[in-house]
Each structure stands twice: as structure tokens, then as C-alpha cells.
Amino acid sequence: MKAILLILSMAVIGAIIGGATNYLAIKMIFRPYKPMYIGKWRIPFTPGLIPKRRGELARQIGITVNDYLLTPDVIKNKLFSQEIRFAILQFAQSKAEEMIFLNNKTIKDWLELAGIKDAPEKIEGKVDELIEKQFGELKRTLSTKSIEELLPEDIMEKADEKIPDLVATLLKKGEDYILSPGGEVSIRNLLNDFLASKGTIGGIFQMFFSDSSSIVARIQHELVRILRSPETKHSIMNIMNDEWEKIKKRPIIHYLNGIQLEPILIQIQSYAKKELAIEERLNKTIHYYFPNGNDWVKYELMPKAVNKALEIAESHLEDVLKRLDIKEVVREQVDSFPIEKLEEIVVGIASRELAMITFLGGFLGGLIGIVQGLIVQFIK
């Protein structure tokens, strides 16, 4: 009976020691969290394994994640797969349709969302500034440039070529007027005024030439002969050419003396703002100006934009990962992760297995106790 009690007592003691040892070993993986001291002497096995090797563990995890888990090839295969591309495209299409084409926001509303307040007034102000600036440039140009400098060379050549035609036209118009009834009346009136201005002698000539039709006809004939004379045409050509040369070399502003340009500027600005109708145009939606925009954005723009963006992202992925330095990021995160939380996660996941390890320690301790009891009895 004593032998059985001895063996049982040794089995119980062994089981307690085995279970407690395993339980303590499991706890020492995480605890204590910090070194413990007696005076200046640090108690062995403090802190626990994980807190003590935390830096090395973080570094090794970072290397493992960087070299084997989140490699550029793995990320490319996952991030740029056809499924991801299709999902991104669908998301972009739906958001573009929802945010741009299926709401009633006007262009003015969009500008306000972008932080641009009072857009119509600002745009009209810019229009006024632009017109005023261009008008000032025009005034400076007109003040310093001559017609010859401003007009293209081919136009100036054509203008020079038109002078003979202009002279011929003027002479022909003069001839037609002299031979017309109106011209005849004008010549007769001029002749009568001339004779009347000569006093008594003029009156005698008027009485002598009571019928002035023949004299008027002779004067018409002489005037027509003069107009048809090559010398007349040549003289008028020279005068016209000389005057044209003077006109070409003068600044254009010379011919605008007396014209107030500021009212013209104000009228141009008012006309431009009236025709632009900025306020009215900005109060329209994007769909108003672009009725087919939704289909174009969804089926034309978005596929190209998404593909291009993913191509650029894929081509720069390795450089981004190098700059990101996943190894260092993981190391910092693991190194800063609370040990208490890590212990809670591990114990929560492997609680059953850890309990079985503790039970196994107790079982083996009890088994060893039984064997020891049997050995003691055998020796006795």
C-alpha cells in the first residue's frame, strides 16, 4: 500500500512540476516585459524572450517581408492583375458619372468647390484687363508704326499697283461729269459768276454772249481734252504717288487725331462682356455643354486614363518600393508594437495549443514520477 501511495505521490508531484514548468516556459516567452533587478543585479531570464529579442525579431521580420512576401513581382501580380484593373476602371467610371454628369452642379458650383469664389466677376475683370492691355498695345503700335510697317508687303505692292487704276477712274469720272447735264450747268454758273465778278466789262461780255451754250460746249471740250491728255494723267500720277508715299510713312495715329479712343475701349469692353455672358454660361451644367460627355468619359477617356496611370505606376513600382523601404517600415512597426497586445494576439490564437502543451508537461511529469516510483521500489 505504501508503495502505491509513493508512486502516486511521485506521479502527482511530477505532473505538477511538468505542467508548471511548461506553463512558466510559455509565460517567459513574453514576460516579464522589462528587466527586473535586485539592487544592480539583473535577474536572469528577464525580460522575456520576445521583449529581449524584440529588435532582432523586428529586423528579421522586416527582411522576410521585404525579400519573400512583398516583393515587386508579388505586388505587380496582385496590384496590376486584370481583376484589379477592371475594378479600378469600374470604380472610376461610376464615380465620374455620379459626381460629374448625374448631379445638377453648375460650372460655377464646381469652381466654388475648387475655392474660386465670384468667378463671373473675376473673369469679367480679366476680360477688361486683357482688352485694355491689347488696346494699349494697339495704341503704342499705331503711334510708332507707319502704314508701310504695319501692312504686309504684298498688300503694299497691290496698293501701289492700284494707283494707275485709281487715277484712270478719277479722270473718267471727271470726264463723265463735265459732259453730263449737271456738269454743263456747273460750267455755265461758273462762267456767269466769273463775268459778273468783272464789273462793267464782264456785263458787256455777258450781253455779247447772250447765248453761252456754245462757249460752255467749247469749255467742256477743252476740259475733256485736258483730262484725256497723257501729261494730265502723268501729272496726277506723280501727285498721287508722292502723296501715297507720304501717307505710307506717317504713323497711323496721325490720321486718328481728334478721335477719342477711351470711349471706344469702354464700348469694346462692354460689348465683349455682353457677348460672352459669363454669368449665364457659368450657370450651366457640364452636361449642358457636353451632352455626350458621360459616354465619352466612361468608354473613351477612363479606359485610356486608367491604363496609362497603371502603366506609369507599374513602371515606377520598384523605385517606389525602394523609397518606401518596406523592410525598415516593418521593423519600425514591429519594434513599436506593444508586447502586451502581441501576447494577447498569440495567446488568443493558440490558447488551446498552449493549454495542451501545459497538459502535456503535466502528463510527462506524472509519467516520469511513476517511473521514478517504480525505480525506487525496485531498488528497495
pLDDT tens by residue, the chain, 380 residues: 677 777 788 888 888 888 888 888 878 877 887 888 887 888 777 777 777 887 887 888 888 888 888 888 888 888 788 888 888 889 988 888 888 887 788 888 888 888 888 888 888 899 999 999 988 888 888 788 888 887 788 888 888 888 888 888 888 888 888 888 888 888 777 766 665 665 555 455 444 454 556 677 787 888 888 888 888 888 888 888 888 888 888 887 777 776 777 888 889 989 998 888 898 888 888 888 888 888 888 888 888 998 898 888 888 888 888 888 888 888 888 788 787 877 777 777 777 887 888 888 888 888 888 888 788 777 76
Q: How many angstroms separate the CA atoms of 85 and 310, rounded?
A: 8
**Cβ-based neighbour number of residue 330 at 10 Å:** 21
Output the pLDDT for position 199.
55
DSSP 76-135: HHHHTSHHHHHHHHHHHHHHHIIIIISS--BHHHHHHHTT--SHHHHHHHHHHHHHHHHH
The domain limits of the chain are 71-104+291-324, 175-250
